[in-house]
Structure formats: structure tokens, C-alpha cells
């Protein structure tokens, strides 16, 4: 059996187009457009690219974006002051502090300083805490995990009672996606660097999420026939045969696993495009929350 490809690029484009339609409808009614502030501390090249892509995606759907840059040496106070200033600005509905922050900064304190109603990344400890609790609803769900859940739904995965295995326990992807899978009534196992005999665990997964940052670690014989496999990894590996001398691969050995799984995300074009699409959706939601509180 060869797996169905889960086309994240197409699914993300549909979401972006829904957001664009909603923003245009707001404009037609004379309502304010959503505004997103991006905060980049330092000049990490990958972070710069991510932030630029987020701003470009905002422009394409009519969301106003405001880029703020602080030097790599910025103090904790300077970063938190910037967040306070953005909290107070009514034209800004979403605040995105690009992670990772330089090592001397305390990201928990910075994320805690963001107004809960502007927490479009869903990383504020209160939003994550609510995500982890039964009967509580966070105002925002982190973008990559939310995008993964959309991909699983579109691919037709049945999550209730399914065995879901998450490789990786990061704050940005592994842990929040595990919480979302629990909320969808899956039986969830979280694996990490200390887990013993990973393949024996992944072989039981009806749904396998790979978010460990190790190129092509998940092999064909690690996967249960018919599983749904979501590959969050983006790793650049050397390949003399590739035009640039390197190419992007995921955490999953794609060619092997596609012969075993029933559905799989490609890299690139799987999870990646979903992160930005969900950020746009969250920013629109933040604007709608602001409408309610200001009774426009
Ligand atoms: N760094 C890697 N992924 C993300 C993300 O989704 N949001 C932010 N703010 N930083 C990130």
C-alpha cells in the first residue's frame, strides 16, 4: 500500500483564503482589520526568515502587521516593556514573540507578560494550562499543533480511542499536540530522548507525530501498517546530488514510511504551511475578541 499524501500546502491555502474573505467582509462593514505585532530579538537567520514569512502572509490576507526588532543584547526589561507597550495598543490584536529568545532572556516571563487576549501563539502559561485541563477552554491554541489537528481531520483520521504516539516534548509542538490529542480522546504516549526502545512504541501508533528534529529517524519498520504519520521535522542535510548541495528532509524516512502508512505529510509542504495559516486564523480571532470587549 502506498500512503495518501496529506497536502498541507493546499489545506493551508484554503484556510488563508477563508481568513482573507473574513477580513474583507470586516473592511466592507467598516470594522477595523486585525493587527499582528511580531517581535524579533537578535538576528538569528532562521528566525528572521520565519518572521518575514509571517508578515508576508498577513499582507496577503489584509491583516496589518507591525515588525519590531530588538538587538540580541536587549535586557529582560526592554523586551517586557515592548510587550507592555503592544498590550496597550488598540491597533494590535496579536503579539508574536519569535522563539527561541537569546539565552540570557527568560522566555516564560516574556510570554507571561503578553495580554491573554493577544496571545496568538497560545504560549501564555494560562492558555497552556487551560489546554491541559478538562472542561477548560484556552483562548488560543498553539499554531503548529492546531495545524496538525486540522491535517489529521482532513486526512480522515479517527482519533477517538486511537493510539497516538508523539515523538518530542517541546513546549512549541510535542507537549501541546499531545494535549490536543488527549482532548480528542486518543490514548497518547509521549516519547523523548530517554525513552527506551522507541520502535516498539511507535509500531503501536495509529497516529504518529514526529517532532524530534532528527533527520529521517523514523524508519519504515517503525510504523504500523495503515498509520497516519505527521512529520513536523525540517532538517537540512547534505546531498551532493541536489542542486544546492543540500535538501530538506523531515524526521521521517519518507520513501520507506509511505509504503507502510495510510497517510503521510511531505516535507516540505506538509505541516510547515499550516503554522502560518493557523497564526492568521488566531489573529482574526484576536480581533474578534477585541470587538467583543470594546462593544464595536
Ligand atoms: N519558533 C518556532 N515555532 C514558533 C512558533 O510557532 N511561534 C513562535 N513565536 N516562535 C516559534
Beta partners for residue 230, in sequence order: 209
Which pLDDT score, from 0 to 100, does residue 296 have? 47
6-46 pLDDT, tens per residue? 999 999 999 999 999 999 999 999 999 999 999 999 999 99
- Provide the whole-model pTM: 0.97
The answer to whether residues 143 and 122 touch, using CB atoms and an 8 Å cutoff, is yes
Domains of the chain are: 30-115 (3.40.50.10860), 143-272 (3.40.50.720)
Widest CA span of the chain, in angstroms? 59
C-alpha distances (whole Å) from 124 to each of 41, 63, 90, 140, 173 are 18, 22, 20, 9, 14
Active site residue 98: yes
Task: Establish how many alpha carbons lie within 13 A of residue 27's alpha carbon, considering only the half-sphere containing its beta carbon.
Answer: 12
Distance 225 CA to ligand 1 centre (A): 32
C-alpha distances (whole Å) from 167 to each of 116, 119, 239, 289 are 29, 26, 26, 34
Active site residue 121: yes
Q: Which residues contact 276 (CB under 8 A, 6 or more apart)?
A: 12, 16, 53, 54, 57, 143
Q: Which of 268, 279, 228, 255 shows the shortest CA–CA distance to 95?
A: 279
pLDDT of 117 > 90? The answer is yes
Return the beta strands (E) in the chain as ranges.
Answer: 4-5, 35-41, 64-70, 94-97, 163-167, 187-191, 207-210, 228-231, 235-238, 246-249, 263-264
Residue tagged active-site, from 7, 118, 119, 121:
121
Using the atom order of ligand 1, give the atom closest to the CA of residue 143: 6
In the three-class reduction of DSSP (H, G, I as helix; E, B as strand; rest coil), residue 218 is classed as strand
Active site residue 27: no
State the Cα–Cα distance between residues 61 and 18, nearest whole angstrom: 9
187-198 pLDDT, tens per residue? 999 999 999 999
Distance 172 CA to ligand 1 centre (A): 7
Amino acid at each position: 500500500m502506498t500512503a495518501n499524501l496529506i497536502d498541507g500546502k493546499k489545506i493551508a491555502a484554503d484556510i488563508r483564503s477563508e481568513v482573507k474573505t473574513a477580513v474583507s467582509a470586516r473592511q466592507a462593514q467598516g470594522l477595523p482589520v486585525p493587527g499582528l505585532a511580531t517581535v524579533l530579538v537578535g538576528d538569528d537567520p532562521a528566525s528572521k526568515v520565519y518572521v518575514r514569512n509571517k508578515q508576508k502572509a498577513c499582507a496577503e490576507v489584509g491583516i496589518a502587521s507591525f515588525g519590531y526588532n530588538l538587538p540580541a543584547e536587549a535586557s529582560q526589561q526592554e523586551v517586557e516593556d515592548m510587550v507592555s507597550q503592544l498590550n496597550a495598543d488598540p491597533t494590535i490584536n496579536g503579539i508574536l514573540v519569535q522563539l527561541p529568545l537569546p539565552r540570557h532572556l527568560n522566555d516564560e516571563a516574556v510570554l507571561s507578560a503578553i495580554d491573554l487576549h493577544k496571545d496568538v501563539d497560545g504560549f501564555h502559561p494560562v492558555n497552556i494550562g487551560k489546554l491541559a485541563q478538562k472542561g477548560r477552554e484556552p483562548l488560543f491554541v498553539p499554531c503548529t499543533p492546531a495545524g496538525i489537528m486540522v491535517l489529521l481531520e482532513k486526512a480522515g483520521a479517527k482519533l477517538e480511542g486511537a493510539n497516538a504516539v508523539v515523538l518530542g516534548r517541546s513546549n512549541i509542538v510535542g507537549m501541546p499536540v499531545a494535549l490536543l490529542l488527549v482532548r480528542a480522546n486518543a490514548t497518547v504516549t509521549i516519547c523523548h530522548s530517554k525513552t527506551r526502545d522507541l520502535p516498539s512504541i511507535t509500531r503501536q501508533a495509529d497516529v504518529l507525530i514526529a517532532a524530534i528534529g532528527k533527520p529521517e529517524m523514523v524508519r519504515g519498520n517503525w510504523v504500523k501498517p495503515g498509520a497516519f504519520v505527521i512529520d513536523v521535522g525540517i532538517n537540512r542535510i547534505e546531498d551532493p546530488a541536489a542542486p544546492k548541495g543540500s535538501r530538506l528532509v523531515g524526521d521521517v524516512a519518507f520513501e520507506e514510511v509511505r509504503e507502510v502508512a495510510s497517510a503521510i505529510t511531505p516535507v516540505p509542504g506538509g505541516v510547515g504551511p499550516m503554522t502560518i495559516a493557523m497564526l492568521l486564523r488566531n489573529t482574526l480571532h484576536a480581533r474578534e475578541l477585541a470587538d467583543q470587549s470594546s462593544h464595536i
